[in-house]
C-alpha cells in the first residue's frame, strides 16, 4: 500500500481490531483446538458404551486431548505462524471472550442440573440435542466473533451447528444417546477438518517465512 493511499477517514478501529485478530487466527489453530475439545465428550461417551473403560482411562484421555488442544496452537504458532505474519500480544480486553466461555460452561452445567431437578432426567434427554446444540452454537459464535470473523459468518456457522445438532432429534432409533454422541462427534470432526483446511490455506497463502529482521533506526 502506498503511503498516499492511506486516508485517516478510512481508519476504523473496530475493523483494525478484527484484522489484527484475524491475521493470527487465519492459521486455523483455534478451530482445530476447539474441534479437539468438542471431540472429547462424544468420544468418551462412545468409548464408554463399547469398551467400558475405567475412570482412570477416561481422565487420561480427557486431559491428554485437552493438553493437545492447548499445546498444538502454541507450538504451531511459535514455529510457523509468527514467522510468517509476525507476532502480536493481545490486549487484556480479549479476556472477555474467555470470561464469556467460562460463563457458557457454568450455564451449561447449572442449566442441566436445573432441568434435571425441575422436569426430570427423561425430559432433559428428550431435549438434549437442542440444549447442547445451543451451547455449541453459542461457543462457536463467541469463537468466530473474537477470532476476527465477521458477525454474519459467526451467526451462519452457529446456525449450521444448531441445525445439525437438532437434526439428531429426528432419529427414531432406540439408542438415542449413541445417536447424539455420533452427531456431536461429526460436528467436532467438521471443526477439526475446517481447522486443517484453514492451516493448509494459511501455509499456501504465506509459503515463505518472513525474513530475519534487520531493523536499524
Partner 1 sequence: MTTNENQNKKFQEINSLDKIIHEPARFMIMSYLYVVDCADFIFLEKQTGLTRGNMSSHLSKLEKAGYVKIKKKFMDKIPRTVLSLTAQGRKAFVDYRNQLKNVLNEFN
Under rule CB under 8 A, residue 17 binds partner 1:
yes
Q: Does 216 bind partner 1 (CB under 8 A)?
A: yes
* Three cell numbers written together for 201: 490455506
With binding defined as CB under 8 A, does residue 172 bind partner 1? no
Q: Are 144 and 154 in contact (CB under 8 A)?
A: yes
Q: Which residue lies nearer to partner 1 by CB, 17 or 176?
A: 17
8 binds partner 1 (CB under 8 A): yes
Measuring CA to CA, which residue among 166, 158, 82 is closest to residue 128? 166
Least distance from partner 1 to the Cβ atom of residue 215, Å: 5
**C-beta of 85: minimal distance to partner 1 in Å?**
6
Nearer to partner 1, 1 or 173 (CB): 1
19 contributes a contact to partner 1 by CB under 8 A: yes
- Nearest 5°: CA angle at 103, between 101 and 169? 80
Rounded to whole angstroms, the Cα distance separating 30 from 24 reads: 10
**64 lies in the site for partner 1, by CB under 8 A:** no
Q: Is 75 an interacting residue with respect to partner 1 (CB under 8 A)?
A: no
Residue 207 in contact with partner 1, rule: CB under 8 A = no
Least distance in Å: CB of 7 to partner 1? Answer: 7
- State how far the Cα of 18 lies from the Cα of 162, in Å rounded to an integer: 25
Strand, coil or helix: what is 150?
coil
Cell numbers 432433559: residue: 124
Closest CA to 135 of 171, 169, 117, 110: 110
Closest CB to partner 1 among residues 129, 148: 148
Q: Is 122 near partner 1 (CB under 8 A)?
A: no
Of the candidate spans 69-77, 82-90, 98-106, 179-187, the one that interacts with partner 1 by CB under 8 A turns out to be 82-90
Among the listed residues 101, 167, 103, the one whose alpha carbon sits nearest the alpha carbon of residue 130: 167
CA separation for the pair 144, 153 (Å, rounded)? 7
Residue 123 makes CB contacts below 8 A (sequence gap 6+) with: 115
Which span sits near partner 1 by CB under 8 A: 2-10, 50-58, 162-170, 172-180? 2-10
**Where does this chain bind partner 1 (CB under 8 A)?**
1, 3, 6-8, 11, 13, 16-17, 19-20, 23, 78, 82-83, 85-92, 210, 212-217
Amino acid at each position: 500500500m502506498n503511503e498516499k493511499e492511506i486516508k485517516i477517514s478510512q481508519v476504523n478501529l473496530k475493523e483494525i481490531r478484527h484484522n489484527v485478530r484475524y491475521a493470527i487466527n487465519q492459521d486455523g489453530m483455534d478451530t482445530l483446538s476447539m474441534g479437539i475439545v468438542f471431540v472429547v465428550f462424544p468420544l468418551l461417551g462412545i468409548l464408554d458404551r463399547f469398551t467400558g473403560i475405567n475412570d482412570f482411562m477416561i481422565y487420561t484421555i480427557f486431559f491428554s486431548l485437552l493438553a493437545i488442544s492447548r499445546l498444538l496452537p502454541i507450538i504451531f504458532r511459535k514455529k510457523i505462524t509468527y514467522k510468517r505474519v509476525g507476532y502480536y500480544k493481545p490486549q487484556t480486553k480479549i479476556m472477555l471472550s474467555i470470561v464469556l466461555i467460562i460463563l457458557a460452561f457454568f450455564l451449561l452445567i447449572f442449566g442441566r442440573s436445573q432441568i434435571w431437578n425441575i422436569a426430570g432426567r427423561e425430559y432433559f434427554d428428550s431435549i438434549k440435542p437442542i440444549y447442547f446444540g445451543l451451547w455449541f452454537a453459542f461457543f462457536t459464535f463467541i469463537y468466530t466473533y473474537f477470532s476476527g470473523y465477521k458477525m454474519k459468518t459467526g451467526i451462519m456457522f452457529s446456525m449450521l451447528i444448531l441445525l445439525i445438532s437438532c437434526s439428531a432429534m429426528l432419529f427414531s432409533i432406540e439408542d438415542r444417546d449413541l445417536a447424539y454422541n455420533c452427531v456431536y462427534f461429526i460436528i467436532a470432526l467438521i471443526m477439526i477438518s475446517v481447522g486443517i483446511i484453514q492451516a493448509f490455506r494459511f501455509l499456501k497463502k504465506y509459503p515463505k517465512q518472513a525474513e530475519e529482521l534487520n531493523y536499524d533506526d
